[in-house]
Amino acid sequence: MDLKSDIIKLSEEAGFLACGIAKVRKLEEEEEHLKSWLSQGFHGEMKYMENHFEKRLDPEKLMPGAKSVICFLYNYFPSAIQIEGAPKIARYAYGEDYHTVIKNKLHPLAEKIKSIYGEFHYRIFVDSAPVMERQWAVQAGLGWIGKNSLLLRKPIGSYFFIASILCDIELEPDTIQTDHCGNCTACIDACPTDAILDNSIVDASKCISYLTIELRDKIPDGFRDKLQGWVFGCDICQEVCPWNRFSEANSENAFQPGSWIQLNRAAWNAMDAEVFDTYFANSALLRAGFNKIKDTLNSV
């Protein structure tokens, strides 16, 4: 019985773009990087990033007895984009909230693994716990960390979600890929807030995604003229990445945009909280909320 092959087949049947395996260990090579990033305040007001430091580095502290990290990628690149001149929403938020959609795929998948393997313990993570998912995806051979700090995969780029199953099954790990960014600095050059630094480091406190979603306060005056129309998240560093020329539209019904994609600037300006909730009831936009988005709208 080749359980690893069965898991990959199950992931394909569930619609995942790719699946890879990493051996559980402490990510010692990331420790100083994380300490430095936090000490320089690059996490801004995301104080939760300071919590569970050891758990971020060592999955066994999240689940004692864990032996493997099964990593998954799920395509979210849309088949259509917003009309010209509309306030911009990051593509990952076009459909339903990915946390729920992907967890609803991973739980049945994990139970199918159990039906093949027998009793085993696992935990599912979809950007919702102190797990360094991009780093584990690298360890699982699914891609490399680009200069914009996102996971890139040859030849499809970076428009995908990362999820993982931490389990106590010992599986054969995959081979780490090489870096394919070369001398390209397109993402660094295009970032309007200069948030992308050297060595794949991002000062999140300057990132448009942080400013429009995570920052609870009003966007500082020094950044308001640099948003380039974005009111929830930002795709600039992905739009200019040469690898994303090869992105293909996803086929996930839950990630197809609703009728709001046709709203123009005037319709957004006229939107009230009730209309917002109607359009985005199951959307990641609720993370920022109506008031935050309307305030940002007044800046772009």
Whether the upstream peptide bond of residue 155 has omega within 30° of 0, thus cis, is yes
* 203: annotated active-site residue: no
Rounded CA-CA distance 191/140 in Å is 29
pLDDT at 111: 95
Each residue's pLDDT tens digit, 34-84: 999 999 999 999 999 999 999 999 999 999 999 999 999 999 999 999 999
Q: What is the DSSP letter of 160?
A: E
Give every residue of the chain whose pLDDT is below 50, as ranges. none
Closest CA to 228 of 77, 90, 44, 87: 87
The Cα-based distances of 101 to 76, 166, 234, 292 in angstroms read 11, 18, 21, 24
Phi, psi dihedrals of residue 124, rounded to the nearest 5°: -105, 135
Percentage of the chain exceeding pLDDT 70? 100
Going 89 to 209 to 27 to 180, the CA torsion angle's sign is positive
pLDDT at 1: 53
- As a whole number, the mean pLDDT across the chain is 96
pLDDT at 250: 97
Rounded CA-CA distance 81/235 in Å is 12
CB 50 within 8 A of CB 39: no
pLDDT at 299: 83
Dmax over Cα atoms in the chain, in whole Å?
A: 60
Of all residues in the chain, what percent are helix, strand and coil, respectively (each to 5)? Answer: 40, 15, 45
Q: Which two tokens stand for residue 244?
A: 């994303």
CB 153 within 8 A of CB 143: yes
Each residue's pLDDT tens digit, 129-138: 899 999 999 9
pLDDT at 300: 84
> What is the number of residues in the chain?
300
Catalytic residue (choose from 2, 58, 127, 194) = 127
| Euclidean distance between the first and the last CA atom of the chain, given in angstroms as a whole number | 57
pLDDT at 290: 95
Rounded CA-CA distance 74/159 in Å is 9
Closest CA to 71 of 59, 79, 81, 82: 59
Q: How many CB atoms sit inside 10 A of residue 51's CB?
A: 9
pTM: 0.96
